[in-house]
Amino acid sequence: MTEKIVAQYKKFIRRRVWFMGITVLLLIGFAGLALVSGSADTSFSSLLRVISGNGEPFSSQIILSIRLPRVIGAVLAGTALAVSGAVIQSLLKNPLASPFTLGISGAAAFGAAFAIIFLGAGSGYSSPADAAIINNPYVVTVSAFIWSLVSVVVILLLSKYKGATPEIIILSGIIISSLFGAGISAMQYFSDDVQLAAIVFWTFGDMGRATWRETLIMTAVLVPVMAFFLQQSWNYKSLQSGDEYARSLGVNVTRVRLTGMVAASLATAVVVSFFGVIAFVGLVVPHIVRRIIGSDEHFVIPASALFGGAFLLLSDTLARTAMAPVIMPVGILTSFIGAPLFLFLLIRGMKR
Amino acid sequence: MKISISNISFSYNGTPTLSDIDFGIEKGDLVALVGPNGSGKSTLIKCMNGILKPYQGTIFINEKTLSDFTPVELAKEMAYIPQNENRNASMNVFDMVLLGRKPYINWKPSEHDLAITGEIIEALHIGHLAMRPFNKLSGGQQQTVYIARALAQEPDILLLDEPTSNLDMQHQLEVLELLKSFTRKGLTVIIALHDINLAARYANKMMMLKSGRVFAAGTTEIINETNIENLFGIKVKIIKDDGDLFVIPKGLKQEKQV
């Protein structure tokens, strides 16, 4: 009988592993699709030739130098945002929480704009490919991270109050967002044309800025953050039953919550500083994942990572091909998908 | 596992909640903490578990003090079932019980962790619920799952805060019978209880708390009309039947007319 119970559970776990396996396959499929679609004509067969090392110079150039960094950038950004969202939802026990709805993304965008205007991280010329060239990505990222911590501190202080319901926390997140939005508007008002263009681009997330340099920096930040989240997943799981119970299991609740929030905002800040605000990925993806595999952080974290990557990659491919030749920033598309879901979650929360 | 509570005092933001608590508990005891609302029962349990730190006094477990244990070491000695837990957790029962193995788990649960979880689920007769979501269970089933989860910690001491407050009479008795049966195997159980009759029936030791002080402590002999009347401010009649004690409330104690 005991063996039967354990076997049942293992079967249940295998379903979760299967889900992750299928997501990996989807991710590979979407990557192939993204590499061949676009304004320049490339086919699957030319993609295969490029992979095997004897592609035509033109398609090799397009696929390896333009599309591949963008694909990897989209996957990494989707992973970072989705995992941050999943972790933040667990840490705050708040189904509406995500980097965007808590104002962390907005604060990071402000920090990035701040670095361009006041810290001289953006240079004063533009190129046909982008409105502004960021010649010092480290300064932009660090500034985005530091400003994102401002909103994390406010959220953590607020969530200490007993009366702070999930809705009130989200409301404060929206207030923080609009405050930083006002800050960005103020900087726009005092900036010159090129800086203005750069800041405007920040407010809709766009994968067009992805180059090999960005993907390398993102990987360097994301790998340790992911390892940390996976190592902490049982701590996050214990929080589901309440802080006092988690403490009785030997979990240092304050430290777990603080380090988790800082790591999540670091991941968010890196994405925002490179690609701008991509809304709702961190909210939508963990919800879909939890609905499919159940609410167990040990699996929700890696599954959200994979699913988030696949989700943003597909969204970006749709955004740049659906209205061709117009390339739409992916942040606009994710907002169209995410905002109705957010409203739905809010209404469902009110009924509870 | 022997516990000595030595001269504990605790205050919440300057308001004294516990003063000079002294008590000794032996291995296999079933201790009931009784007293009116706000008398400090929950606070005492949290102090024993290291969740709250008393500003004065020490708690000894065998010969070691609480602060000699790391939080994880303590979690292997002592399990705690809080009064107000999030009963909306959507994880399934097996996952919930497996959570009790947390102090032993680093990256992922081992085969041994899964086996123990399965054994406990079976021993408590909740095998048929193992894959059901926790938030869809009845109050009695949820309480059994909490006890299973606490046992998965393989503790020597079990602390429970009002485990029976949401249960019907049958489930109240079931929970206490279950706890009593564990004490025969050497588990030490400490329960904060509102129901003095349940305490009288199952506990072998009792501490009465009033306004954060020990009002009376000892065996269930301390349940007498004077003590109960002064502790709760009510008039009672106590009936003895076959060695069982029954406390029957007769109404509020009238203030003396001057």
Judgement on whether residues B100 and B201 belong to the same structural domain of the protein: yes
Cβ pairs A/B, distance under 8 A? 100
Judgement on whether residues B64 and B160 belong to the same structural domain of the protein: yes
In chain A, the residue whose alpha carbon lies closest to the alpha carbon of B71 is A250
Q: Hey, are the CB atoms on A242 and B115 less than 8 Å from each other?
A: no
Percentage above 70 pLDDT, chain A: 93
Q: Hey, are the CB atoms on A244 and B51 less than 8 Å from each other?
A: yes
Q: Hey, are the CB atoms on B99 and A237 less than 8 Å from each other?
A: yes
Kindly report the backbone phi and psi dihedral angles of residue A294, in degrees, each rounded to the nearest multiple of 5, phi listed first. Answer: 90, 165
A278, A284, A285, A291 alpha-carbon torsion, rounded to 10°: 180
Contacts of A12 in chain B (CB under 8 A): 92, 94, 131
| pLDDT above 90 for A189 | no
Rounded to an integer, the average pLDDT of B76-101 is: 88
Question: Are A321 and A36 contacting, i.e. CB atoms less than 8 angstroms apart?
Answer: no
Rounded to an integer, the average pLDDT of B19-33 is: 92
Distance from CA of A125 to the nearest CA of B (A): 49
The total of structural domains in chain B comes to: 2
Distance from CA of A311 to the nearest CA of B (A): 25
Contacts of B127 in chain A (CB under 8 A): 1, 4-5
Judgement on whether residues B185 and B251 belong to the same structural domain of the protein: no
| pLDDT above 50 for A219 | yes
| pLDDT above 50 for A128 | no
B185, B190, B192, B193 alpha-carbon torsion, rounded to 10°: 30
Mean pLDDT of chain B: 89
Instruction: Give the CATH number for residue A15.
Output: 1.10.3470.10
Percentage above 90 pLDDT, chain B: 53
If one compares B233 and A325, the residue with the highest pLDDT of the two is B233
The total of structural domains in chain A comes to: 1
**Which band of pLDDT confidence, cut at 50, 70 and 90, is reported for residue A350?**
low
* Host domain of residue A140: 2-351
| pLDDT above 70 for B152 | yes
If one compares B255 and B197, the residue with the highest pLDDT of the two is B197
CA torsion sign for B71, A244, A239, A249 is positive
Judgement on whether residues B213 and B249 belong to the same structural domain of the protein: no
Whether A5 has its CB under 8 Å from any CB of chain B: the answer is: yes
From the list B49, B119, B122, which residue is nearest A248 (CB)? Answer: B49
From the list B84, B89, B130, which residue is nearest A240 (CB)? Answer: B89
Whether A39 has its CB under 8 Å from any CB of chain B: the answer is: no
Q: Hey, are the CB atoms on B92 and A294 less than 8 Å from each other?
A: yes
Residue B256 CA to residue A100 CA, distance in Å, equals 64
Residue B254: CB partners within 8 Å, gap ≥ 6?
Answer: none
Q: Specify the pTM.
A: 0.87
Q: Hey, are the CB atoms on A294 and B117 less than 8 Å from each other?
A: no
Tens digits of residue pLDDT in B203-221: 999 999 999 899 998 888 8
| CB neighbours of residue B140 within 10 Å | 17
Judgement on whether residues B167 and B248 belong to the same structural domain of the protein: no
Token pair, residue B38, equals 């706000």
Residue B131 CA to residue A58 CA, distance in Å, equals 55
| pLDDT above 50 for A88 | yes
| pLDDT above 50 for A8 | yes
* Host domain of residue B151: 3-223
Contacts of B160 in chain A (CB under 8 A): none
| pLDDT above 70 for A247 | yes
Judgement on whether residues B146 and B245 belong to the same structural domain of the protein: no
Judgement on whether residues B153 and B239 belong to the same structural domain of the protein: no
From the list A9, A93, A250, which residue is nearest B74 (CB)? Answer: A250
Tens digits of residue pLDDT in A256-291: 998 999 999 999 988 988 888 898 899 999 999 988
| pLDDT above 80 for A53 | no
| DSSP-based three-state secondary structure for A213 | helix
